[in-house]
Amino acid sequence: MNNKKIWGYLLQGPLWLVMVGSFFVSIYAAANDISEITYATSVFLAIIIILYIIGRILVEKKHY
């Protein structure tokens, strides 16, 4: 791996931590009826994460 790829993964880390953490916290908040958060928040965050993963796959796919 070259340095650019390593730095790219390191700089993406905080986004992954925040998004995945928010997803699980929203599920917890919806299950325990905290602050009127519903499961729609969890679904919305899951859609964002899935779209991000699809976008990364499409960008990294090599076209020959």
Mean confidence (pLDDT) of the chain: 86
Residue that is written with structure tokens 């779209």 in the block:
51
Where do the domains of the chain lie?
3-60
Segment 19-48, tens digit of pLDDT: 999 999 999 999 998 888 889 989 999 999
Return d(Cα 16, Cα 20) in angstroms, integer.
Answer: 6
Classify residue 3 by burial, with Cβ atoms within 10 Å: 0-12, 13-18, 19+.
exposed
pLDDT at 25: 92
> Considering the chain, what percentage of its residues have pLDDT values greater than 70?
94
3-state secondary structure the chain: CCHHHHHHHHHHHHHHHHHHHHHHHHHHHHHCCCCCCCHHHHHHHHHHHHHHHHHHHHHHCCCC
